[in-house]
């Protein structure tokens, strides 16, 4: 009788999922503490309304409309690619305009930025592993902040960090779905093996 042999792809797939989940959690905790120092250094109140700030990917998902695995991963990938650019702008604005001497603060923004880059890479790998192909992307050069006032820069930075925090929560949820889905499709492969 043929024993159920685990196909290597689902295993590789699930370990990548776990790594993404771990990284997303790490980013979440880093962003949480970064938010504390951000609002303090910008003299902002955490509860300030950010509705007037646009151009930041919203983590909240439209109601209903179940996404496929590929759609979920792609949405995450697009978001973290956008955050790469946005965080780059936030870092530049803090260095040049708002907190020029606060090098430690800049380092913590830089650290989150690098983790976001890594996360985007892993998501790309995951998409490729699932056979959906890794969407090409070229990091757009950061928008010229020249047109933003200093106050708008502050709000923009706060919104970027808040939405990034929300995205990391969503990513953990999405990646669990993806992992669960791959577990199911992995068992199906196993089942077929038994039939033969």
Partner 1 sequence: GNLKCITHDLNRMICSWDATSSANLGLTYKICYTNSEPFSPVCTETEGKRADLPVAMGSTNIQITTLNASGTPLATETFVLPEENVSLIPFTPQILNLSADFSTYTLYLKWNDSGSVFQHELDASWQIQILYKETMETVTLINYESKLTGKDSILFWNWTSDIPLECTSYYVKIRCYINELYFTGRKEWSEWSPVRTVPEKDTKPNSAMVFPQDKVVLVGSNVTFCCLYNEGKSVKFMNYGSESYPLLRLSKWSSAIKVQNVNASIPSGTNILCSLVPDDLEGTVLFVGYAPDTPQNLNCETRTFITITCSWNPGRPTALYTKRQTKYILFERISREKVTCKVDELNEKHHCDFPVHANQKIYNFTLGASNPLGQAESSLLIDVNQRVHLETPDKFTVSTNSSTNAHLSWYIPGNFIKIRLLCQIEISNSNSEQQLNVSMAGAENSNYRARVDALHPYGTYTFRVRCSASEYFWRWSKWSEGKKLTTLEA
Give the Cα separation of 116 and 92 in Å (integer).
Answer: 16
SS3 label, residue 157: helix
Question: Interacting stretch for partner 1, rule CB under 8 A, among 46-54, 108-116, 125-133, 165-173?
Answer: 46-54
Question: Interacting stretch for partner 1, rule CB under 8 A, among 12-20, 62-70, 95-103, 177-185?
Answer: 95-103
Question: Interacting stretch for partner 1, rule CB under 8 A, among 39-47, 112-120, 173-181, 188-196?
Answer: 39-47
Of 3 and 47, which has the nearer Cβ to partner 1? 47
Question: Which of 120, 123, 155, 175 is the binder for partner 1 (CB under 8 A)?
Answer: 155
- Residues whose CB is less than 8 angstroms from the CB of residue 181 and which lie 6 or more positions away in sequence, other chains included: 69
SS3 label, residue 152: helix
Q: What 8-state DSSP symbol labels residue 147? A: G
Cβ(76)–Cβ(166) under 8 Å?
no
Of 45 and 62, which has the nearer Cβ to partner 1? 45
What is the per-residue binding string for partner 1 in 108-147, x denoting contact by CB under 8 A? Answer: ----------------------------------------
Q: Rule CB under 8 A: say whether 63 interacts with partner 1.
A: no
Tell me the H-state helices in the chain: 8-42, 69-93, 103-129, 150-195
Of 44 and 121, which has the nearer Cβ to partner 1? 44
- Residues whose CB is less than 8 angstroms from the CB of residue 104 and which lie 6 or more positions away in sequence, other chains included: none
Of 50 and 118, which has the nearer Cβ to partner 1? 50
Question: Which of 14, 19, 26, 41 is the binder for partner 1 (CB under 8 A)?
Answer: 41
Cβ-in-10-Å burial (0-12, 13-18, 19+) of 36 comes to exposed
Q: Rule CB under 8 A: say whether 104 interacts with partner 1.
A: no
Question: Interacting stretch for partner 1, rule CB under 8 A, among 12-20, 93-101, 122-130, 163-171?
Answer: 93-101
């Amino acid at each position: 009788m043929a024993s159920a042999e685990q196909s290597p792809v689902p295993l590789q797939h699930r370990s990548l999922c776990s790594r993404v989940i771990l990284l997303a959690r790490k980013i979440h905790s880093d962003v949480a503490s970064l938010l504390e120092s951000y609002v303090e250094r910008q003299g902002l109140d955490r509860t300030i309304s950010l509705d007037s700030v646009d151009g930041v990917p919203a983590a909240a998902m439209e109601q209903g409309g179940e996404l496929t695995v590929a759609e979920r991963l792609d949405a995450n990938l697009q978001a973290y690619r956008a955050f790469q650019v946005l965080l780059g702008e936030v870092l530049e604005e803090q260095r040049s305009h708002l907190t020029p001497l606060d090098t430690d603060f800049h380092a913590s923004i830089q650290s989150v930025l690098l983790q976001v880059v890594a996360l985007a890479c892993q998501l790309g790998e995951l998409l490729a592993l699932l056979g959906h192909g890794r969407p090409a992307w070229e990091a757009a050069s950061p928008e010229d902040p020249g047109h933003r006032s200093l106050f708008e820069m502050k709000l923009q930075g706060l919104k970027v960090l808040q939405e990034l925090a929300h995205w990391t929560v969503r990513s953990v949820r999405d990646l669990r779905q993806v992992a669960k889905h791959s577990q199911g499709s992995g068992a199906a492969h196993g089942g077929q093996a038994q039939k033969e």
